């Protein structure tokens, strides 16, 4: 497996995994199309005990080294105002940049471009302006993402607490995790790759943004993901390993390969620690999965509270 | 049934439906406690076809008569920037007052007070300050609200397009809807009351905030809701009928009775039109319901995209 | 005087009034360069009585027909929190789109382009990105705009309460106002043109944004402004008359001619009512003028409280 | 001079310097009342050369150790959009918490309370709510603050680069600076005390907020300030020395003594480096001063670009 990718190799890889046109030339939903009614009904049948696990970090309201633009959370009314006999209430306001590295969120397909194009060949420059994304915005998922979820816990199979920033995960690791977990990633699944980032973050504190290093998938995993026909890819980091030593100008090939070429939405910065503990405890790595994005027309992402239901 | 309530009658009513202490004196989750693992597992078993219906309005990004403080949606990067060969992406930012009357949202239990107290007797003034709500905030629901949902379609049983603003819905109407729909609201359910407000809004435009009138439940429905042990109450308006002619200083008794006394979270401004069509088409008024609130610690609400799964 | 302009005529006009290169090819301050130390010292000598008049509207915090995106003003701490013996305090937060039509503000030179170019020929596309304006931003005026101010009160000379929206002001009107007021606009002055818009707004309410009509200067005033070598142009509307019947694609030739070609900053939506009353009372139409913009690097405007000192 | 203050001594001090009632029981402008038309006219006569010096830091748009909530600056339109022949423009948006420690701003009198009272005895709890300050808000200064300014450069007279955080400035220092600078602080002046904080900040980086230490005035300076009848007090830090070793619960006696008791507005975090250089070069420490606050009704502060004119 090459540790370096040339520009030509990346280009070849992107062609190889392309889903452009697969669901028609006007399609904006990409691999969400894999999730059929039957798939959702089957996912519901995975539910046995009714236990839930949230995969969401709390929204960050203070700045951190990987979070220079936290959520602004202000109150519009508080608890001291109100008629002594009567009812009254408090209310709040928040402002958010959902793509932040400490925010659990769903990336819309419009979030990345490749050679000036969005998923399915839409033109980035003309389709994304100051009103937002006129194609492939987050509201294509307004029906919710409800399907089978699968966790592959990479630190577990490597017997480490976490994967170090900058260390890559390869297809062999995915295969090994499947064997260890006795699970098989399949069509229309939401696949989560655990790197242990939040265990590391709890132990070491957050890394800085500048020169940010992240554990994540090597570009060579893209054909694996494509073959399995996943619907969505999730991570406790950002799916891509960073930095890379590719010769190519394309520095986040997993983002590009999934969002742009395959039409696979990404879930960034999920909290996979409680999920990993639950899966290990039960010896079961699949579950009914739900993520219900906010209906922000022309939006490029939604903050989210993804839930695993067992 | 009295068309007017006196202060004393309201006070008696509030006492009658109180769940304070029911789940311990420290409880902050209220009627969400009705939703057990078994209830969630049973809800999943309601899924037959796998069809989904979103109950969310699009987030409002322009001002309207019932929406003077819309979502501010701005771009942080757009489509024209990026390396010609490489990947790049767009990103956005939004600011939201989630309690707005054109925003589908979940009210936290802290959102209303009664005689200076929150649900379970927590003190409003000391527990809710400029940092937000230190008790009964929206993050008590971080595990998600997943349970059985039931729709009662009031315009349908009255053979009208919508209930007029200011017109009240009474317990008899709820009983009649149950009979018509062949459904029974039960413990741990999320109950939606359709008034047809959004059909009216589409036909007539939004009403103004000042002197706002809304169709909704009469205060006399509170014992009915309490008996049924619902977990959450939802509406396409704000659950309360407005204005009221009660003598009491308490102007939104449904808000107060549910949020404060019963510990029942509220879903305001849901879009129940597609759901009503689906239910009528199928002749089935219950479904697996999911609402996955953002994990905003100390938050008073979450914008939400509630989903019905059939 | 032509009531219509062709594209070619507009282009000729723009060439005629160009100050590009006048202060060097790297200059970003434009006609602010007319304001010398001597001019400021002379302006100070205009002060006789020490009376001040603010030309600022209050910042608009509620939406209006010409103000769909008002200032968001929220509190961070209020009056009820604090040690009983000790000190404590309140604080607030605001969010603003300074170019709003109900906001008194100074436009940076970067605010408009002509044929893809900013003032002095800087390229709009490459110089203005999501970080803001890398050339001709508002902070070029960080030293403050302090000079002589002159008011020309057009409704006064026409004996009307206000100039109707859509009605144009011509060079002859400017000459007539100078004669009436016994004042002469000269080099480095800030020139205010009163249309009476805020008297009209108080009487009739605000006009809507869509199809917005404004009283203002006809394009044929540009050579007059250029000859006088004004430093800044201000208005109680937006300087341009709107709508226009020009054949040209250029719909706001005063904005383009001043900001882009002449390097003349614009003050929009000033409140000129108290100033006009003061000037009429004193029979004096010039004064020491100060506008001290916020130092927002890369900013496209600053909300402002311009002051006339007599 | 006591290095410690007891609660009783602070209380006595506050009584001693009180201006409550001095300008009538309804007054909200405090020591701004010292600034008469005559004073403004006299200030204008101080202008000799017409040179200006800005006392404003750039608005901080990135977080820092003393700036956890920086200005959010976003674009609404940028440079790449527009008709090729025609005109178009860019626009922006910003959100600000003006009291930040890296933001040059004017504190409204409402910003601090003492024993539950604002300046002139207004009740903090009832006058400051979620709509903002109903008394003593920043818009009381809508006519602008234009008067004589005086700089006292403390590091200069102590022959140091800056005053260390936590080190106090005493009345003797103020007297010594007056003698050195051959200037006398008088009625209606804006007085700036330079500590050299920004020279220190440039050399060492910003200090953290938690346990923040600042150089500033000892509480014993309050009678001196009161005797001189200053209109406004300004600093390159926050006027108060922090931390203090007072026994009193009042930790920022300069804030309380000026804003609450004397009705003296404060300018925090001014950049006094260029001003100090100019004054030293000219051997002249007074100038015409202007600060023109934004007209934010009910606001607790205004970001500002104060200007010295020589």
The percentage of residues in chain B with a pLDDT greater than 90, rounded to a whole number, is: 79
Position D178 confidence tier, pLDDT thresholds 50, 70, 90? very high
Position D4 confidence tier, pLDDT thresholds 50, 70, 90? confident
Distances in Å between the Cα of C193 and the Cα atoms of C126, C172, C177, C276, D134 are: 34, 13, 10, 10, 34
Residue B58 DSSP label? P
* D78/B76 CB distance under 8 A: no
Residue of C206, B212, B95 lying closest to A69 (CA atoms): B95
Average model confidence (pLDDT) across chain B: 92
Chain D positions touching A125 (Cβ under 8 A) are: 80
CA A285, CA A309: separation in Å to the nearest integer?
11
**Three-class SS state of A190:** strand
Of the candidates A49, A78, A92, the beta carbon closest to that of B41 is on A49
Question: Token pair for residue B225?
Answer: 């809701």
Longest dimension (CA), chain D: 73
Least confident among B200-204, C267-271, D27-31 = B200-204
Chain D positions touching B75 (Cβ under 8 A) are: 74-75
Chain C positions touching B81 (Cβ under 8 A) are: 129-130
* C78/A76 CB distance under 8 A: no
Q: Which of B80, B99, B130, B131 should we substitute to test contact with D (largest number of D Cβ atoms within 10 Å)?
A: B80
In angstroms, the separation between the Cα of residue C289 and the nearest Cα of chain D is 11
CA C141, CA C259: separation in Å to the nearest integer?
14
Cα dihedral sign, C4-C7-C12-C13: positive
In angstroms, the separation between the Cα of residue A242 and the nearest Cα of chain B is 14
Residue C251 φ/ψ, nearest 5 degrees: -95, -15
Looking at per-residue confidence, does A78 or D166 come out higher? Answer: D166
* C41/D54 CB distance under 8 A: no
* B130/C76 CB distance under 8 A: yes
CB C109 within 8 A of CB C298: no
Report the pLDDT value the prediction gives residue A109, as an integer from 0 to 100. Answer: 98
CA nearest C39 in D: which residue? Answer: D50
Question: Token pair for residue B163?
Answer: 């209930």
Q: How far is CA C75 from the centre of its chain?
A: 30
Question: Token pair for residue D141?
Answer: 């200064």
| Phi/psi-derived region of residue B305, left when phi > 0, alpha when psi is between -120 and 50, beta in every other case | beta
Cα dihedral sign, A137-A143-A147-A149: positive
Q: Which of B63, B69, B78, B81 should we substitute to test contact with C (largest number of C Cβ atoms within 10 Å)?
A: B63
Type and span of the H or E element at B37: helix B37-45
CA A239, CA A255: separation in Å to the nearest integer?
7
* C146/D80 CB distance under 8 A: no
Mean pLDDT of A117-146: 94
Q: Which of D34, D51, D92 should we substitute to test contact with C (largest number of C Cβ atoms within 10 Å)?
A: D92
Residue B109 φ/ψ, nearest 5 degrees: -60, -30
Following DSSP, what letter does each residue of D53-121 receive, concatenated?
Answer: EE-PPPPP-S-BTTBSSPPEEEEEE-TT-S-SSSEEE-EEEEEE-TT-TTS-EEEPGGGEEETTB-GGG
Runs of H (alpha helix) within A112-205: 124-127, 154-158, 171-181, 197-204
Q: Are strands B91-96 and D216-217 parallel, antiparallel or unpaired?
A: unpaired
Least confident among A150-164, A283-297, B114-128 = B114-128
Q: Which of A81, A94, A125, A258 should we substitute to test contact with B (largest number of B Cβ atoms within 10 Å)?
A: A94
Distances in Å between the Cα of B309 and the Cα atoms of A55, A308, B56 are: 21, 16, 14
Of the candidates D116, D142, D306, the beta carbon closest to that of C84 is on D116
CA C230, CA C33: separation in Å to the nearest integer?
10
Question: Token pair for residue C159?
Answer: 């004996």
The percentage of residues in chain A with a pLDDT greater than 70, rounded to a whole number, is: 95
**Three-class SS state of A129:** strand
Question: Token pair for residue D101?
Answer: 């420690």
Residue C102 DSSP label? T
Residue A36 DSSP label? -
Position C249 confidence tier, pLDDT thresholds 50, 70, 90? confident
Summarize pLDDT for B132-179 with one digit per residue, the tens. 999 999 999 999 999 999 999 999 999 999 999 999 999 999 999 999
Chain D positions touching C56 (Cβ under 8 A) are: 142, 294-295
HSE, side-chain direction, 13 A CA sphere, residue A129:
11
ipTM confidence: 0.95
Of the candidates A45, A89, A301, the beta carbon closest to that of B111 is on A89
* B95/D95 CB distance under 8 A: yes
* D87/C250 CB distance under 8 A: yes
CA A1, CA D132: separation in Å to the nearest integer?
63
CB D280 within 8 A of CB D139: no
In angstroms, the separation between the Cα of residue B181 and the nearest Cα of chain D is 45
Question: Token pair for residue D77?
Answer: 């339109």
| Full-model pTM | 0.94
In angstroms, the separation between the Cα of residue A172 and the nearest Cα of chain B is 26
Q: Is residue C87's pLDDT more than 90?
A: no
Residues 6+ apart with CB under 8 A from C68: B62, B63, C209
Q: Are strands A87-89 and B112-114 parallel, antiparallel or unpaired?
A: antiparallel
Residue of B99, B103, B109 lying closest to B140 (CA atoms): B109
In angstroms, the separation between the Cα of residue B310 and the nearest Cα of chain A is 8
Of the candidates B115, B132, B296, the beta carbon closest to that of A85 is on B115
Least confident among A79-93, D46-60, D115-129 = A79-93
CA C217, CA C154: separation in Å to the nearest integer?
11
Report the pLDDT value the prediction gives residue C2, as an integer from 0 to 100. Answer: 47
Position A82 confidence tier, pLDDT thresholds 50, 70, 90? very low
CA A295, CA B2: separation in Å to the nearest integer?
41
CA C10, CA C31: separation in Å to the nearest integer?
21
CA C138, CA C301: separation in Å to the nearest integer?
6
What is chain D's percent helix, strand, coil content, to nearest 5? 30, 25, 45
Average model confidence (pLDDT) across chain C: 93
């Amino acid at each position: 497996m090459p540790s370096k990718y040339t520009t030509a190799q990346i280009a070849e890889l992107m062609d190889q995994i392309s889903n452009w046109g697969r669901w028609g030339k006007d399609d904006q939903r990409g691999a969400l199309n894999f999730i059929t009614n039957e798939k959702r009904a089957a996912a519901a049948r995975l539910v046995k005990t009714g236990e839930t696990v949230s995969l969401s970090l709390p929204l960050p309201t203070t700045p951190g080294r990987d979070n220079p633009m936290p959520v602004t959370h202000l109150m519009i009314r508080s608890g001291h105002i109100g008629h002594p006999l009567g009812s009254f209430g408090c209310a709040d306001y928040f402002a958010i940049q959902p793509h932040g590295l400490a925010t659990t969120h769903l990336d819309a397909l419009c979030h990345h471009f490749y050679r000036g194009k969005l998923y399915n060949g839409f033109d980035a420059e003309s389709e994304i302006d100051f009103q937002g994304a006129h194609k492939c915005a987050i509201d294509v998922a307004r029906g919710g993402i409800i399907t089978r979820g699968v966790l592959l816990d990479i630190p577990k199979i490597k017997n480490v607490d976490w994967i170090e920033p900058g260390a890559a995960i390869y297809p062999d690791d995915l295969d090994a995790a499947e064997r260890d977990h006795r699970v098989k990633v399949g069509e229309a699944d939401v696949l989560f790759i655990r790197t242990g980032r939040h265990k590391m973050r709890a132990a070491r504190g957050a890394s800085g943004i500048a020169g940010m290093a992240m554990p994540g998938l090597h570009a060579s995993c893209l054909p694996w993901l494509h073959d399995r026909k996943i619907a969505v890819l999730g991570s406790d980091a950002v799916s891509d390993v960073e930095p890379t030593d590719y010769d190519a100008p394309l520095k986040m090939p997993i983002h590009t390969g999934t969002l742009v070429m395959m039409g696979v939405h990404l879930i960034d910065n999920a909290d996979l620690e409680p999920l990993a503990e639950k899966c290990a405890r039960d010896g079961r790595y699949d579950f009914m999965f739900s993520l219900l994005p906010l209906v922000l027309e022309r939006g490029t992402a939604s903050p989210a509270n993804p839930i695993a239901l067992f």
